[in-house]
Structures are given as C-alpha cells and as structure tokens.
Amino acid sequence: GQQVMQIPQYQHVQEGEDFTTYCNSSTTLSNIQWYKQRPGGHPVFLIQLVKSGEVKKQKRLTFQFGEAKKNSSLHITATQTTDVGTYFCAGGKSGNTPLVFGKGTRLSVIA
C-alpha cells in the first residue's frame, strides 16, 4: 500500500536557526497536505499543494511539492519558540481515498 515517509523524526534547533522536514511517498500523489500539532493539541491544517513543482509561502514557512509529485518539504526560516510542535505531511490520491500521514517531525526550539 501507499507509504509516506517523513524525516527527520526529531529536530532540535536554536531559536533563529532554520528548520526543514522532508516527506517522500512511495507512489505519485494528487496532493500533499501539511499539518501542525502543538504539544497536547490536535493536528491543524497548514496548507495543501496540488501542482507539480508548486511552491507556497506562509510568512516564514515555505512549502514545496516535487516535480514528480512524490516528495515535499517544509522549511521554516528563523525559527521561533511558537514554531514548537510536530509537523505532519499527508499524501492524497484522487477520489475518496483517505490521506496517508507521515509519522511527523517533532521540532524543539531552544531559546
């Protein structure tokens, strides 16, 4: 079945450093979504990418979807303590097929 691998599993950074998490799918995706889960909270949708090679930005966050639509990345510039949490990617296929989530990257930011 479809698998979505996400690395790294954990990342500890000093405040102000950059952070990147990577997501790779075993199959071609129709879209990729990213979610953020704060400690003790629930996953919250950040963004969806649907086009090959697409790049989207949200303030300090940059999201990319690979040309082959099998990989994606989330890059945070100059991390802040408010960025702490676990970031999940989720791969989608067309139709009513459920999203497949990666295992997430837990980000810790040291002030």
Contacts with other proteins by CB under 8 A lie at: 6, 9, 30-31, 33, 35, 41-45, 48, 50, 88, 90, 92-104
Nearest alpha carbon to residue 94 among 53, 47, 50: 50
Shortest approach of other proteins to residue 9 CB, angstroms? 7
Phi and psi at 14, nearest 5°, equal: -80, 145
First-to-last CA distance in the chain? 41
Q: Which is nearer to other proteins, 13 or 99 (CB)?
A: 99
Q: Which is nearer to other proteins, 15 or 45 (CB)?
A: 45
